[in-house]
Structure 1
Amino acid sequence: MFVPSVRRCAPGFWRNTTSELKRATKFALNLEGLHLPLTPYPIFDFANPETITTLKTMTDQSVGGFSTAELTQRPADASSNIPAHILFRGNISTKLPANRPDINRTGYAAWRNQDRGRTLWGDLMWNVDTYMYLALRVKSDGRKYFVNVQTDSIVESDIHQHRLYTKHHKGAEGPEDPGQWETVWIKLHEFVRTNHGVVTEPQSEMLRQKVKSFGIGLIDRQAGPFELGIAAMWATNLNERGQVDGRTGWEDGDQGSARLGEVTSEKLAQKEEEKRNMPVEKKSFRERVPHFGKVGTQDRSGVR
């Protein structure tokens, strides 16, 4: 007598497989209708002078070092096209503390936000899960700064870091170049998990739904003064071309600029009106996300 193959499967196999297929289908349908926010999500806007009161500085003085750091508020200067900003400045010293043989390295300074407090549902945190970039409006002296992001990790001392690369910093065009203000975009998925400045393995993606703090640190261990201006920090899906450009494909989202103060509701409404007047071209899920489901597959040649 013929026995269907289903009876030779492990108990619960088809029940589990069916539930997995349902979850995969639900995920595909949700991704098909994915809508990324186009308006920026403010993290710090230093046009508000009260924002600086929510921050704190940290240096190697906590272990007996001699580096210094301070944050000061600077007003906008329309005549020089200078935005309102905070100035992170001080002096790095690599001198080791006396009578502390356990300390063999100093020379760092940083700032971050203070703990944001609690609600009935737990600690206050940022949720940047629907955003692709962390953007910063800065004026740098060209030193080796890192952007630091701390999440609600199992290991509390874990920090996700990314180098703050600038193109128009002081000295970029020669010794007399004073530098200029610029906007820097950092892809959130490119942050690297570290612990006490050392890259940790295995790596894990940042828990973007629960961010406890944002900040900037200077860890180049080069003795001397430093100065970094920061006007704003925000999460966004718009890159430097004003487009939505991410890992799941891209679609034209031309808003004219990805800067915090220039993406207005009027511009977004105008763009939506233009889209409504354009012929609708419906793309399938496979066309929008061509690589979905292909990770780990094997072709006929046996090459992964």
Structure 2
Amino acid sequence: MFRASLPRFAAPGFWQKTNQEFQRQAKFAINLEGLTITTIPQPLLDFEDPQTSTWMKIMTDQTVGGFSTAHITQKEADPATSSPAHILFHGNISTKLPHDRPDVMKTGYAAFRNRDRGRTLFGELFWSVEPYSYLALRVKSDGRKYFVNIQTDSIVESDIHQHKLLTKNHKGAASPNSPAQWETVLIRLHDFVRTNQGFITEPQSEMLRQKVKSFGIGLIDREPGPFELAISAMWATNLNDRGQIDGRTGWLEGDQGSALLSENTVEKMAQRAEERRNMPEKKESFTERMADIGRAQRRENTS
């Protein structure tokens, strides 16, 4: 049922490989007096489907006369190395300035994002990630300083919400010659910073999560040389890297304490409900008690 609602580029390949990770959590829902925390993840970009890579738009400093290059190459799954089908965002960064453009003072960047989703009779198509706390990415990185970019239907079209892609198992992380490993990176949607032309904008404003136009990744460290980043999928979720609901949701009584969803959360919520049922009735304040006394005295005087 859920898969049928996906856009054409989100093929079932993503679910075939990651359902085992999410299926256990998706069977549970947390209800607190009408409040529901979504536990089923929402696929955004499934790069196991070769069609998804054809839907990406590549951007480099060549638009202003620079010399950086970038490519997206589709890679097949490799069971021998437990590598999923994915895309490889790769190329070479150059900080060389164009000779015929004295107005260009800085080069050395490359990025990609999805193209616009199109329109329907009801208007432009967007993603809504409002019910979610995290953006999750399955990546294998060379360790360079990548940024994750989210563009919404903002009043200022060039506004981009950005966050660093912080990896722990990138190339050279364990030792100078250690290879990169696949890992899942989770970024709090609340932690994205609104920028414009690479500069942080003030005052900051909350991301318009109901109308997301694009997701992408950019490399703007301006370090000359080759780069290589593998990405198999992006999705929105409320589950952290331990398969747990994160407690800092900002909702009333949403402090689940990162409890294991399948083992502790339902039990904790039932225990809290029982505690609320056993709580004594709310005690009246001094002002409320005095008001009751005054009403009683007035009744006595009129009787």
Return the match for 1:254 from 247, 257, 260: 260
Measured after TM superposition, the shift of residue 280 of structure 1 is: 5.1
Q: Distance in 1 between matches of 2:105 and 2:242?
A: 45
8 A Cα contact 1:244 1:250, kept in partner: no
Q: Distance in 2 between matches of 1:31 and 1:208?
A: 23
Q: Output one character per residue of 1:98-136: Cα deviation in whole Å (capped at 9) or x when no partner.
A: 111110000000000001100111111100000000000
Measured after TM superposition, the shift of residue 97 of structure 1 is: 0.6
8 A Cα contact 1:136 1:232, kept in partner: yes
Q: Which residue of 2 aligns with 1:109?
A: 110
Q: Secondary structure at the match of 1:238?
A: coil
Q: Which residue of 1 aligns with 2:236?
A: 235
Give the counterpart letter for 2:69 in structure 1.
Answer: T
Q: Which residue of 2 aligns with 1:258?
A: none
Q: Distance in 1 between matches of 2:270 and 2:108?
A: 59
Q: Secondary structure at the match of 1:88?
A: strand
Q: Secondary structure at the match of 1:134?
A: strand
**Residues 19-168 of structure 1 correspond to what in structure 2 (within 5 A)?**
32-168=33-169
Q: Which residue of 2 aligns with 1:7?
A: none
Q: Which residue of 2 aligns with 1:3?
A: none
Q: Distance in 2 between matches of 1:170 and 1:280?
A: 45
TM-score normalised per structure 1: 0.75
Q: Distance in 1 between matches of 2:229 and 2:118?
A: 28
Give the counterpart letter for 1:172 in structure 2.
Answer: A
Q: Which residue of 2 aligns with 1:221?
A: 222
Q: Secondary structure at the match of 2:101?
A: coil
Q: Which residue of 2 aligns with 1:293?
A: none
Q: Secondary structure at the match of 2:58?
A: strand
Q: Which residue of 1 aligns with 2:284?
A: none
Asked if 1:281 is matched to 2:266, the reply is no
Measured after TM superposition, the shift of residue 195 of structure 1 is: 0.2
Q: Which residue of 2 aligns with 1:290?
A: none
Q: Distance in 2 between matches of 1:192 and 1:242?
A: 26
Q: Output one character per residue of 1:213-259: Cα deviation in whole Å (capped at 9) or x when no partner.
A: 0000000000000000001100000001211113333336635xxxx
Residues 37/221 of structure 1: CA separation in 2 closer, same or farther (3 Å cut): same
Residues 95/247 of structure 1: CA separation in 2 closer, same or farther (3 Å cut): same
Residues 48/156 of structure 1: CA separation in 2 closer, same or farther (3 Å cut): same
Measured after TM superposition, the shift of residue 281 of structure 1 is: 3.4
Q: Secondary structure at the match of 1:43?
A: strand
Unaligned runs of 5+ in 1: 1-29, 256-270, 288-304
Q: Distance in 1 between matches of 2:255 and 2:216?
A: 29
TM-score normalised per structure 2: 0.75
**Residues 183-222 of structure 1 correspond to what in structure 2 (within 5 A)?**
183-222=184-223
Q: Secondary structure at the match of 1:212?
A: strand
Q: Provide the aligned C-alpha RMSD in A.
A: 2.2
Give the counterpart letter for 1:254 in structure 2.
Answer: L
8 A Cα contact 1:238 1:253, kept in partner: no
Q: Distance in 1 between matches of 2:266 and 2:206?
A: 34
Q: Output one character per residue of 1:187-220: Cα deviation in whole Å (capped at 9) or x when no partner.
A: 0000000000000000001000000000000000
Unaligned runs of 5+ in 2: 1-30, 280-303
8 A Cα contact 1:242 1:253, kept in partner: no
Measured after TM superposition, the shift of residue 45 of structure 1 is: 1.2
The count of aligned residue pairs is: 240
Measured after TM superposition, the shift of residue 53 of structure 1 is: 1.3
Tell me whether 246-255 or 42-51 shows the greater mean CA deviation.
246-255
- The runs of at least 4 aligned residues of structure 1 exceeding 6 Å deviation read none
Q: Distance in 1 between matches of 2:206 and 2:106?
A: 29
Measured after TM superposition, the shift of residue 175 of structure 1 is: 1.7
Q: Distance in 1 between matches of 2:112 and 2:270?
A: 49
